Amino acid sequence: MNQKINETLGRIKSAANKYPVTILMSLTMTAAAIFLIESDYENEVQNFIALKILLVSALGISLSFGLSMLSQRINKFGFLAYLCIPFVIGFYFLLPADEDDFTVKYFFLFAPSYVLSHLLVAFVPFLKSENSETDFWEYNKKLFVNFFLTVVFTGVLCGGVELAITAVDNLFNMDFDGNIYPDTFMFFLIFGSTLIFLLFTGDGLKKLEEKSDYPNVLKFFTQFVLIPLLIIYVVILYLYSIKILINWELPRGWVSYLVLVYSMVGILALLLVHPLRGEDAKSWVRIFGKMFYYTLIPLLVLLFVAIFTRLLEYGFTEARYYVVLLALWLTLVVGYFALKKNPGIKFIPISLFVFGIFSLLMPFANAFSVAKNSQKNNLMKVLTENKLLKDGKIDFSREVKSEVVDEISDKFIFLDERGQLDYLLTLVDDIPSKTKLSGYRSWNFRNKFSNIIYEKGSEYSDYQYYTIENLKTSYETEDYDYLIPFVGESGKKFNIGGDILKIDRESNQFILTLNDKFEKDLMPEIKKFVDENSDLINDKQVDDLSVLTDLGPYQIKVLIGDISVNTDGVNEPNYRVSDFVILASKKE
């Protein structure tokens, strides 16, 4: 027993010596994840910093492992892996300081970066031409198998430890903090899985390259599960292609994702069965290996038609950019394997890596620049075609179709999330400050237009939404004894002079209750105010918005920030008070 423990500890020490940066990155990521679990949600600044550390550390795990493999190849004793540290730190400072600026565009920074770091692991030790295809395949096969073994070992170990904690907690009345379970899960998910994977790696590159028998489980899976499923899948795609030819219709946009999935899984299947194309392989495996790239040619045509139909109508986004990029890469791969006499499988990850680097770093042609400029041009095209520009500004009094309003609003949001607020400010007059365009989100932006044309039966044809905003920002409080700023959920209670004031604020109700004895619903007066000021629907701003009432021995004044109203033309309008302050004093 002691020998096994010492052996395991020795292997852990060896892994730490061989991959210190990878271990460091996994520990950092684990600490950040646990901090987020334990942290108070109100500590937004610290939580966002921890989230950024978690994201860049995740990138550092795979990147440092890849550089360690390269170091072992060129006998630099892991020195290259330390280059990962300044890279990760620099990547951290590329991220915004304010969480509000951490928009969807950063997904398209991280997702390709994670993919690129894993691709680097796949090929970086084999950049020299003298490294054989057999060693390359063996290396990646073992990484693939080690990954699945890591998933199994980590799952069993984590589940066992969690169950042990539960047993101790219940049997010995330990009353553990509830966070111990997610903390334990994160520890094993990140650090535990990283360490287990490194233990499977053993002596590193040398062991990973050692020739071994093809795993029977993997052989069965690829020959009798994965490839037959792909054949069924390609038949479905071909039948769909025949259908659109018969009906002479354009393909649906999402078919492009189906073609990409088929292509990627098919390439993975071919890589998995690469050594099985010999005499011992089933005949249909060899046939599939030869025919796969030819079957992709009609599907690539379908893919390009589907994506360019969307591009011509709506322009580029980052997602469409990557669909086009993958389509071009697939075209290159098909051409390479169809035309080259002795194609090498290293071409697949290396070429995809080059395309990925292009998408992130190429000036004026990267995903972000192309998407941003395309949506700017598309926005101006929509505004010009619908004659909505007057002296370079959007004229909100012009007649405009409902679907055009939605399209303009979507493009405003898209560009705002990508830091183009200054550009958007050149198109409108009434944004009070350079802040997020919250007033231009969805319905609020829709209601800037005063002459929207709805199609009969449209879901919006009888819908109205507007907000009445209080412009008054200060009030005299000398006649009142208590000031209550409402923060929190409906039903919250406050102590005023020994009395308990309860506030229930839901849709279509605003009820004040004192000591469960006196009750006053202010919503009728709020509705009356809205009805009396219905001419303000386009302006949505008033000089004062307050309600005065008596509640038991107190005089209450409610200072309302804004009231939102929406109606579908069928049901009663829905009124909601968003933020308010209550002043209270005892009556004389």
pLDDT digits (tens, 9 = 90+) for 475-496: 777 788 888 876 556 777 888 8
- Token output for 74: 């060129």
Assess whether pLDDT exceeds 50 at residue 433. Answer: no
DSSP annotation string for 472-508: ------TT-SEEEE--SSTTEEEEETTEEEEEEEETT
Least confident among 72-81, 291-300, 420-429, 520-529: 72-81
User: Are 394 and 428 in contact, with CB atoms under 8 Å apart?
Assistant: yes
% of the chain surpassing 90 pLDDT = 44
In angstroms, the CA 408 to CA 193 distance is 46
In angstroms, the CA 272 to CA 268 distance is 6
Assess whether pLDDT exceeds 50 at residue 442. Answer: no
pLDDT tens for each residue of 93-133 = 999 998 888 989 999 999 999 999 999 999 999 988 666 88
CB neighbour burial string for 157-186, b if at least 16 within 10 angstroms, e if fewer? ebeebbeeeeeeeeeeeeeeeeeebbebbb
CB neighbour burial string for 387-402, b if at least 16 within 10 angstroms, e if fewer? ebeeeeebebeeebeb
Q: What pLDDT is stored for residue 458 in this prediction? A: 57
- Considering only residues 127 and 77, tell me which one the structure prediction assigns the higher pLDDT: 127
Q: What pLDDT is stored for residue 133 in this prediction? A: 86
In angstroms, the CA 526 to CA 309 distance is 50
Q: What pLDDT is stored for residue 275 in this prediction? A: 81
| Mean pLDDT of the region 6-18 | 88
Q: Pairing state of beta strands 399-401 and 451-453? A: parallel
Least confident among 2-6, 8-12, 23-27, 498-502: 2-6
CB half-sphere exposure, 546, CA atoms < 13 A? 17
Q: Pairing state of beta strands 451-453 and 464-470? A: unpaired
- Considering only residues 190 and 253, tell me which one the structure prediction assigns the higher pLDDT: 190
Assess whether pLDDT exceeds 80 at residue 286. Answer: no
Least confident among 84-98, 243-257, 276-290: 276-290
Q: What pLDDT is stored for residue 464 in this prediction? A: 66
Split at pLDDT 50, 70, 90, the class of 432 is very low
Assess whether pLDDT exceeds 60 at residue 441. Answer: no
User: Are 241 and 295 in contact, with CB atoms under 8 Å apart?
Assistant: no
Bridge-partner residues for 400, per DSSP? 452
Q: Which of 132, 135, 277 is nearest to 219 (CA)?
A: 277
Assess whether pLDDT exceeds 60 at residue 367. Answer: yes
Assess whether pLDDT exceeds 70 at residue 77. Answer: no
Mean pLDDT of the chain: 86
pLDDT tens for each residue of 219-274 = 788 778 888 888 888 898 999 989 888 988 878 777 888 899 899 989 988 888 88
Which of the residue ranges 73-82, 255-264, 463-472 has the most confident prediction, judged by mean pLDDT?
A: 255-264
pLDDT tens for each residue of 379-402 = 999 999 999 999 999 998 899 988
| 209 Cβ neighbours under 8 A, 6+ residues apart | 135, 138, 139
pLDDT tens for each residue of 560-569 = 888 877 776 5
Assess whether pLDDT exceeds 80 at residue 188. Answer: yes
Q: Pairing state of beta strands 451-453 and 554-560? A: unpaired
pLDDT tens for each residue of 302-324 = 999 999 998 998 999 999 999 99
